Structures are given as C-alpha cells and as structure tokens.
Amino acid sequence: MKSKQWHLIENEAEEDAVWEAFNRLLHFTPDFGDKVKCPFDFSKISESVIAYDISGIFASDFEAHDENGNYKTTECITILKSAFADCMGEDEFMYALEWQHGAFKYNPRIDAAYGCYVIYSSLPDTRAYYPDFHPNGDYFFFVSKDFSGGYLTHPWQKRVWFYGSKLVGLIKKQEEKLGFKHIDFT
C-alpha cells in the first residue's frame, strides 16, 4: 500500500472481511432507541476496556473540519492520533470504519490536510466520507490492524469506548485534557 493518511478499501471482499472480523470480536449491535445499553460485547476482549461520556464535549474539539469543510486540527485530535500511532507498532495502518459507509486503512502518523470526503469513481455515489473522531451522527471505529485495540464511538449515547491495555493506559493519562468523563458501562 502506498503510504498515505487515508486509503479507501475499495475491494468489497476485503471490506467485508474487515467488518466480519470486527463483528466477530465485538458483536456490534446498533440500537437507535436504546440510550443506555452498550452496543458492543467485550467478552472476547482480554485486554482493558474503558468507557467515557462525551456529552459535555464540544463536537468541534474532535471534528477534523470546520463548518465550511476546511481541514483543522485540535489538541484533542492530536492526542488521539498520537495514542493510535503509539499503539500501532510497526503496522503501516489501522482501520477506520464508519458503520454502513466506507472502510479505510488509516495512518495516524501522517499529518496531512484532507477534505470531508474524497471522490472515488469506483463508488456508486463517488463520495467516500472520512470517519471523524467525534460521533457526529454515525458510529465511527478506529481499530488496530489486528483488532487488539481500538476506539469505538456511539452517536446517540454520546459515549466512546477504548480497548487494549496500551491504548487505554495512554488515554487514561490524557482523559482530563480530552474532557472525557469516565463511566461504568457493564
């Protein structure tokens, strides 16, 4: 894979395999009406898991684009990208998934401006929207290549989950700067 920040997984079989692995591990069950139940089953995760309420955080602190669609970066985005990069080891990418939308290979080590979406002639509607760091109306997931750690978001509950001991440890050190409020989700 050519080294770039975002790489859309255009091969349907490859995308399906990524989603199948994700669902096999976490048994993701989205529920639009349930404002409390965790949509993930962490029973197959032997590593640490932590959940946060982000309802008191401004979406603009975590969104990579302003109201005009221009790229921006914030301290919160920098903290998340740094934690992701620290956990990747030698991997060239992690997965960035948007439920019912695109799946990307994402390299947080590369910092380059990007738009809200990219045009791909291979797609039916030609636009692939990049997952964002704040759940702004959709589920976004950033997971390691081997699925051993990740950042999972819920748009209606305004909650996020981190799993994987190293990632959880890095986020715990930064939770005050991020404005995250630790919650029990079991």
Dist. CA 31–CA 39, nearest whole Å: 7
Domain that holds residue 101: 47-183
List the one residue out of 106, 165, 164, 161 whose CA is nearest residue 132: 106
Please determine, for residue 86, whether its predicted confidence score (pLDDT) is greater than 50.
yes
Q: Is residue 7 part of a domain?
A: no
Q: Is residue 109 part of a domain?
A: yes
Q: Is residue 167 part of a domain?
A: yes
- pTM, rounded to two decimals: 0.86
Q: Is residue 40 part of a domain?
A: no
Dist. CA 161–CA 52, nearest whole Å: 6
Please determine, for residue 64, whether its predicted confidence score (pLDDT) is greater than 80.
no
Fill in the DSSP letter of residue 40. -
pLDDT in tens, 103-112: 899 999 987 7
Please determine, for residue 71, whether its predicted confidence score (pLDDT) is greater than 70.
no
Dist. CA 160–CA 167, nearest whole Å: 13
What is the gyration radius of the CA atoms in the chain, in angstroms?
A: 16
pLDDT in tens, 155-181: 888 889 999 999 999 999 999 998 889
Q: How many domains does the chain have?
A: 1
Q: Is residue 130 part of a domain?
A: yes
Please determine, for residue 49, whether its predicted confidence score (pLDDT) is greater than 80.
yes
Q: Is residue 164 part of a domain?
A: yes
